[in-house]
Structure 1
Amino acid sequence: MTWHPATVISSRGASGFRQSHPLERKLANDVTTLLVASTGGHLAELHDLLPRLGLCDDCVWATFDSPQSRSLLDGQEVIHLPPAATRDLGGALRDLLAARGLLRGGRFSRVVSTGASVAVSCFLPASRHGIACHYIESAARRKGPSLTGRLVARVPRTRLYTQSRRWAGGRWRYGGSVFDGYQASRLATPRPVSRVVVALGTHERFGFPRLLARLLKVLPPEAEVLWQVGSTRVPRMPAGARVQVPYAEMQQAMREADVVVTHAGVGSALAALRAGRRAIHVPRRRRHREHVDDHQVELARHLDRRGLVVAREADALTVEDLVEAASWTVARTGSVGPFQWTPT
């Protein structure tokens, strides 16, 4: 892989981005908060939590370059770091080298991250320079911290927050959940299952062929389907399958859909909820080599108990489940309280 140093990108609206500049060039404004997250669910969480963090100063994002990050963060200043996959030591080291250059200039006084390994890469040089570090564990972690959470807990001057009351305690403070404020209600007249969005995530290492193969059997043949499949491959791929779909396009498609089917990732769940859809949430399983562990199982069960998703196993998904999901809508229930953290 060819490594490129981190670059600063200032978004200029829907028309695109201006030319990249090396980090060494002096930056003119007084931004103090660096928001760090890998793309996917981690970035979606931090983006949704940001209004509840109560930050008054300007913020800069540090993440990977992807259709999601360019669409979601359009209009904001973004620093693109070298991409790092799940448990990718080489990628984490490249991020560490980029973060050292980024954080040595004294521009930032605070770093906030929702993971994953890029949090460790940025927290290590930040702590060395006396910069406050704040780590918010993913809402998907219902039983305890992730590997990233356990690693950043060893970094000096790092404050730790969980989105699960279940294991809060000690240094881990419960701050609230990114899923707070959503409520599902049953429709008087269910929607027909005629427009469907399928979002299997964009992980380069882990596909989800069990779910894709099952959907090809149970989806009505006349349904109009947007397929976002990531790295998933099956012998007969559906027509129009796409590796990634930009954030804005995906949100619009979900708002117009009768049914949304997703893997049990935080980002996919949030996208469906924002679109007013109670998605069918299907967890990846470690025993099928669909992820590194079974945290998606816990998240699917948690959100199902809250009534925000219809949790189903990939091999058991039925037409009746599609009809059930089409019978619900989701809305915000008024204002949501601030995330409980200590920003200083």
Structure 2
Amino acid sequence: MSAQLDTHTAAKSLFVCSTGGHLTELRRIEERDGINPDSLWVTFDTPQSRQALEGRRVHYLPYVGPRDLKGTLRSVPSLRRVLRGESFDAAVSTGAAIAAAALPLATLHGIPSIYIESVCRLRGPSTTGKLLMAVPGVELRTQHAEWAGGRWSACPSILDSFRSEERLAPEGPLRVFITLGTIRGYRFDSVIDAFLSTGLANETTVWQLGDTTRTDALPGNVYDYLSPDEFAFEAARADVVITHAGVGTLVELLSMGIYPVQAIRRALRNEHVDDHQLEIAELVETNGIGIPVEGPGLTEEVIRYAAGRRIVDGRLAKVETV
């Protein structure tokens, strides 16, 4: 029997995921399907998870990196204790590596288990998804019907309810928030250089640079990293947000009503390990929920276009009209 999350009587679920975009996606899925206060979250202890899951039941695991087999195996004893300690109606995960340990264990305990592949996987499953294909009993779901089939069934995308519309563009100088993410070991100078060349940088510009430290004096306020609260504050008061093309940041901005300029990190410029952000950019463009550009392609025209648009969450609009 297919494991279901009832939208009227929310299941007591075990939610297991990595932090970052995986946590952002799973939170939105839970909000859509219904929140049960008895559900338990299993994730890593980070500023993001502490803020996002405040007031919720949480069990923290030591960090497990992508494709970290040893770290995944080290998490097994702790996961077993959780599963032996109480009963759950369902176990749900959006990845990453931790799902490959948690869902098979949940299945062995007789708990209906669901793996929902990330919305950024447009053409097929991730490594975790491929591993779970070998585990009987785990229900596999994709947010893209185009590659559903076999064991993979289609489910609604977390982006389906978002749409963009025009808004009155601000007059005068623009307040711009540029956030380059927190990925370590990769710079993103192309975005900074392109933005400076537009002439739009001013004393209200806010920069979150991550590993892209600069020796030149950038106008405005410059930070290496921002807390989740600080990030939300700067994004909310900006006229335009220019962000790296990460799915977690994308969903957070859309949920705030922000139409983002998504700057794409490319491997050929040593901005990322691969070009997976091209898929996210394609998704954004297809859905009309942002404007993707490669770093050198960031222009004043692009920025001013974004200043004249906003995001509406149709799911919230339906709630307000009830």
Q: TM-score, normalised by structure 1?
A: 0.80
Aligned to 2:3: none
1:155 lines up with 2:128 in the alignment: no
Amino acid at match of 1:259: V
Aligned to 2:120: 140
Instruction: Tell me, yes or no, if the aligned pair for 2:169 and 2:309 is still in contact at 8 Å.
Output: no
Aligned to 1:110: 90
Instruction: Tell me, yes or no, if the aligned pair for 1:199 and 1:268 is still in contact at 8 Å.
Output: no
Amino acid at match of 2:54: D
Q: Write out per-residue CA displacement over residues 56-107 of structure 1, whole angstroms, 9 at most, x where no aligned residue.
A: 5721111111111111111111111111222233332333343233223343
Could you tell which deviates more after superposition, 215-224 or 248-257?
Answer: 215-224
**Secondary structure at 1:36 match in 2:** strand
Structure 2, unaligned runs of 5 or more: 1-10
Identify, as 1 or 2, the structure richer in helix. Answer: 2
Aligned to 1:293: 274
Q: 1 CA distance for matches of 2:309 and 2:169?
A: 9
Structure-2 change in CA distance of 1:77 and 1:229 (3 Å) = farther
How big is the shift at 1:287? 3.4
Aligned length: 307
How big is the shift at 1:159? 0.5
Q: 2 CA distance for matches of 1:37 and 1:192?
A: 43
Q: 2 CA distance for matches of 1:189 and 1:219?
A: 18
How big is the shift at 1:219? 6.1
Aligned to 1:7: none
1:185 lines up with 2:165 in the alignment: yes
Alignment of 1:299-310 (within 5 A): 299-310=280-291
Alignment of 1:187-206 (within 5 A): 187-190=167-170, 192-204=172-184, 206=186
**Secondary structure at 1:85 match in 2:** coil
Structure 1, unaligned runs of 5 or more: 1-30, 338-344
* Alignment root-mean-square deviation, CA: 2.6
Structure-2 change in CA distance of 1:169 and 1:94 (3 Å) = same
**Secondary structure at 2:95 match in 1:** coil
Q: 1 CA distance for matches of 2:72 and 2:42?
A: 14
Instruction: Tell me, yes or no, if the aligned pair for 2:92 and 2:115 is still in contact at 8 Å.
Output: yes
Aligned to 1:270: 251
Q: 2:145 aligns with which of 165, 189, 195?
A: 165
Aligned to 2:188: 208
**Secondary structure at 1:224 match in 2:** coil
Q: TM-score, normalised by structure 2?
A: 0.85
Q: 1:281 aligns with which of 262, 267, 276?
A: 262
Structure-2 change in CA distance of 1:234 and 1:167 (3 Å) = farther
How big is the shift at 1:178? 0.7
